[in-house]
């Protein structure tokens, strides 16, 4: 704190906080509570009471204020509490007033709360004491005398004084309240006896210091009623005295094997994941620890704890952006992926090359890839995902830790390996999957429905065409989803929110030309450009509208979902504008105007999705 020459209170040692908030009564209350001036008033009210009349709340207010002052910094909480209970408030109104004369007997220990004093020693030396500094007796009952003359430097100097007898008793009592834990003749932990209230009901020992090993061990020991947050405190502060969190992780895995400690270890891990999930997210070793711990819970059939852990992991995981650059398209990827929509899962990282740029960037096992270069990866086939990753040298990858689903994927894969058969997704597995395409059968919808005419301008995916199509479907009673979870026609999955799927009927000719190069994630590239939608399944309906312009400023409205890709919009637009060209002849572009009036045009990548969210206010 700096000394203040003005007559006002010296607030330089206190945190600055905005105090003028007139917007709202609630805000004013919050400001008042955090306003130093206001808190000084509350503290002064508490100090002006006779010590006998101070309540526990008063003492808490004083503690909150006093612990900021250097004089109280090295004291334990219980000592500060005891001193706050007996301290007396004193004010010296005028600057230049003599507080203590040279040789005067000292009868108290005092701390400056406001203002400053100057001590002039007999040899002419001077010393200035400011807010938070202390002077007076040491913790002994022997007589002590003032050396030098003490004068106030400013008006309204405020002090708290503790009588010598109280000061001596409280500081010496601390030694009696200490409990030292020794191992092989060395002190490894120090605890202090504390009473949290005056009734004596809440009392016990609280850990105040210890060796790193002993503090770690205390995680799974009984904690007293006065030390209920030891685990939380340890998990917050261990990083200041341990070089790696795995020092704690290894111990916890070791202790888990002891049935008597198992529940305590699990509680520590749950608190750790809940309070500091970034300890796991940024550290591959800690991710492995979490996997191993989950396996242990599974092995011991602790299903309830496992569910809690998975819920905490899912809730705390944050989306992370990882940027990687490959020297060339041919360069191998520094990680291995698993999953894909064909398995009913997202795309997951199985392993990352040790020491690679991907490891340095924070990519790790168990990460789910959500997006790559703006393209949605939440519902994409593994082969398609690998193709996108291989074909780009600059990769901007959005990931999120999702160990729970990753473990499900590993279980599924091991079952497949054991049973020797690939997993075919059931309807239940694919409730999250957006659309089913029929990669192997280029079936014209007109043949299936057997209608008089559904010409090439069929508006299956536009506002006008929906009601017509719904009536047609109601009339013909064609099932949208296969009757069985899967059948001979083979179900793939792709990135669109509408659902396609046809029951094999007698209308299908026995032999149809099948192209071997068609993409199952783009069913619109099949010979048929018509879709059948299930209008009874509302979440799977397109729920957004794009207005697409041609160069001659004609426009059409096209219904899409968040997972519809730019390529799919092009196919629909060609149909809506009744163009005869192939989709490859056109691309979707965004035209925007900068604040300076410059018109810019950029081509959108074919696989870009979430189109309605991406368009700028100044763009088309």
At 110, list the tokens.
């005092």
What pLDDT does 36 receive? 57
Half-sphere exposure of 611 (CA within 13 A, CB side): 32
Listed residue (410, 399, 206) closest to 291, CA to CA? 410
Residue 38 banded pLDDT, cuts 50, 70, 90: low
pLDDT tens-digit series, residues 451-463: 334 444 444 444 4
pLDDT tens-digit series, residues 331-355: 899 999 999 999 889 999 999 998 8
- Cα(546)–Cα(266) distance, integer angstroms: 50
For residue 188, pLDDT over 70 is answered with yes
Report helix, strand or coil for 135.
Answer: strand
Alpha helices in 392-462 (DSSP H): 403-419, 445-449
- Cα(464)–Cα(545) distance, integer angstroms: 12
Q: How far is CA 51 from CA 45, 78, 335, in A?
A: 12, 17, 68
DSSP element (H, E) containing 109: strand 108-114
Average pLDDT over residues 265-286: 89
For residue 525, pLDDT over 60 is answered with no
Residue 130 banded pLDDT, cuts 50, 70, 90: very high
What pLDDT does 32 receive? 45
For residue 39, pLDDT over 50 is answered with yes
Which one is predicted more confidently, 175 or 33? 175
pLDDT tens-digit series, residues 429-448: 444 443 434 333 333 433 43
What pLDDT does 500 receive? 36
Cα end-to-end distance, the chain, whole Å = 59
Half-sphere exposure of 238 (CA within 13 A, CB side): 24
CATH code for the part of the protein at 317-419: 2.30.42.10
Stretch among 140-144, 155-159, 399-403, 445-449 having the lowest mean pLDDT:
445-449
Cα 336–chain centre separation: 26
- Phi then psi for residue 451, to 5 deg, are -95, 165
For residue 20, pLDDT over 70 is answered with no
Average pLDDT over residues 505-511: 41
- Cα(272)–Cα(288) distance, integer angstroms: 15
What pLDDT does 37 receive? 59
What pLDDT does 578 receive? 85
Predicted TM-score (pTM) of the model is 0.46
What pLDDT does 504 receive? 39
- Round the average pLDDT of the chain to a whole number and report it: 77
What pLDDT does 120 receive? 93
State the sign of the Cα–Cα–Cα–Cα dihedral 556, 561, 566, 567.
Answer: negative
Percentage with pLDDT > 70 across the chain: 73
The CATH classification of domain 36-173, taken from the options 2.60.40.10, 2.60.120.10, 3.40.50.2300, 3.30.10.20: 2.60.120.10
Residue 191 banded pLDDT, cuts 50, 70, 90: confident
DSSP one-letter string for 335-384: EEEEE-GGGTS-EEEEEE-TTSHHHHHT--TTEEEEEETTEE-TT--HHH
Average pLDDT over residues 307-323: 87
CATH code for the part of the protein at 544-614: 3.10.20.90
pLDDT tens-digit series, residues 551-564: 888 888 898 988 89
Longest dimension (CA), the chain: 117
Cα 421–chain centre separation: 39
Task: Give CATH superfamily name and number for 210-315.
Answer: Son of sevenless (SoS) protein Chain: S domain 1 (1.20.870.10)
For residue 600, give every residue at least 6 positions away whose Cβ sits within 8 Å of its Cβ, in sequence order, or none: 591, 592, 593, 594
Percentage with pLDDT > 90 across the chain: 32
Average pLDDT over residues 586-590: 92
- Cα(451)–Cα(457) distance, integer angstroms: 15
- Domain-wise residue ranges, the chain: 36-173, 210-315, 317-419, 544-614
What pLDDT does 199 receive? 67
For residue 464, pLDDT over 90 is answered with no
Comparing 210-315 with 544-614, is the CATH topology the same? no
What pLDDT does 423 receive? 53
């Amino acid at each position: 704190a700096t000394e203040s020459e003005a007559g006002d209170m010296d607030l330089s040692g206190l945190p600055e906080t905005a105090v003028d908030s007139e917007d709202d009564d609630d805000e004013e209350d919050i400001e008042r509570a955090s306003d130093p001036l206001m808190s000084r008033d509350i503290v002064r009210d508490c100090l002006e009471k006779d010590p006998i009349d101070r309540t526990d709340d008063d003492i808490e207010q004083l503690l909150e204020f006093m612990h900021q002052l250097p004089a109280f910094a090295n004291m334990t909480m219980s000592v500060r509490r005891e001193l706050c209970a007996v301290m007396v408030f004193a004010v010296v109104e005028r600057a230049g007033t003599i507080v203590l004369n040279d040789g005067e007997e000292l009868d108290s220990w005092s701390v400056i709360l406001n203002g400053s004093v100057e001590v002039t020693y007999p040899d002419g030396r001077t010393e200035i004491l400011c807010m938070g500094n202390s002077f007076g007796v040491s913790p002994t009952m022997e007589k002590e005398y003032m050396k030098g003359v003490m004068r106030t430097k400013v008006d309204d100097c405020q002090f708290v004084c503790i009588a010598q007898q109280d000061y001596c008793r409280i500081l010496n009592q601390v030694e009696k309240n200490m409990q030292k834990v020794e191992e092989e003749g060395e002190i490894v932990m120090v605890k202090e006896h504390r009473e949290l209230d005056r009734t004596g009901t809440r009392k016990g020992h609280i850990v105040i210091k210890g060796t790193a090993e002993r503090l770690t061990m205390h995680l799974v020991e009984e904690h007293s009623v006065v030390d209920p947050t030891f685990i939380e405190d340890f998990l917050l502060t261990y990083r200041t005295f341990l070089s790696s969190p795995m020092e704690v992780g290894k111990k916890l895995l070791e202790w888990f094997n002891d049935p008597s400690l198992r529940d305590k270890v699990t509680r520590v891990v749950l608190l750790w994941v809940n309070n500091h999930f970034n300890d796991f997210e940024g550290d591959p070793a800690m991710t492995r620890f979490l996997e191993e711990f989950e396996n242990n819970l599974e092995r011991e059939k602790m299903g309830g704890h496992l569910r809690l852990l998975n819920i905490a992991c899912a809730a705390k995981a944050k989306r992370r952006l990882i940027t990687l650059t490959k020297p060339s398209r041919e360069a191998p990827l520094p990680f291995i992926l698993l999953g894909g929509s064909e398995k009913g899962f997202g795309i997951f990282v199985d392993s990352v090359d040790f020491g690679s740029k991907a490891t340095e960037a924070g990519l790790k096992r168990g990460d789910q890839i959500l997006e790559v270069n703006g393209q949605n990866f939440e519902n994409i086939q593994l082969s398609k995902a690998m193709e996108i990753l291989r074909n780009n040298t600059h990769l901007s990858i959005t990931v999120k830790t999702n160990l729970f689903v990753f473990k499900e994927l590993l279980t599924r894969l091991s079952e497949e390996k054991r049973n020797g058969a690939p997993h075919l997704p059931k309807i239940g597995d694919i409730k999250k999957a957006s659309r089913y395409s029929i990669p192997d059968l280029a079936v014209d919808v007109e043949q299936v429905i057997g209608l008089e005419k559904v010409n090439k301008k069929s508006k299956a995916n536009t506002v006008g065409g929906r009601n017509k199509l719904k009536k047609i479907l109601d009339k013909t009673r064609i099932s949208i989803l296969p009757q069985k979870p899967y059948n001979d026609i083979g179900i793939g999955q792709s990135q669109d929110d509408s659902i396609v799927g046809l029951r094999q009927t007698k209308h299908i000719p026995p032999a149809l030309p099948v192209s071997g190069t068609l993409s199952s994630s783009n069913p619109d590239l099949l010979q048929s450009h018509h879709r059948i939608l299930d209008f009874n399944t509302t979440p799977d309906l397109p729920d957004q509208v794009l207005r697409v312009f041609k160069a001659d400023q004609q426009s059409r409205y096209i219904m899409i979902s968040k997972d519809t890709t730019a390529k799919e919009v092009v196919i629909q637009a060609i149909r809506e504008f009744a163009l005869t060209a192939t989709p490859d002849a056109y691309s979707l572009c965004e035209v925007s105007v900068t604040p300076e009036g410059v018109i810019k045009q950029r081509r959108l990548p074919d696989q870009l999705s979430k189109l309605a969210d991406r368009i700028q206010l100044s763009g088309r």
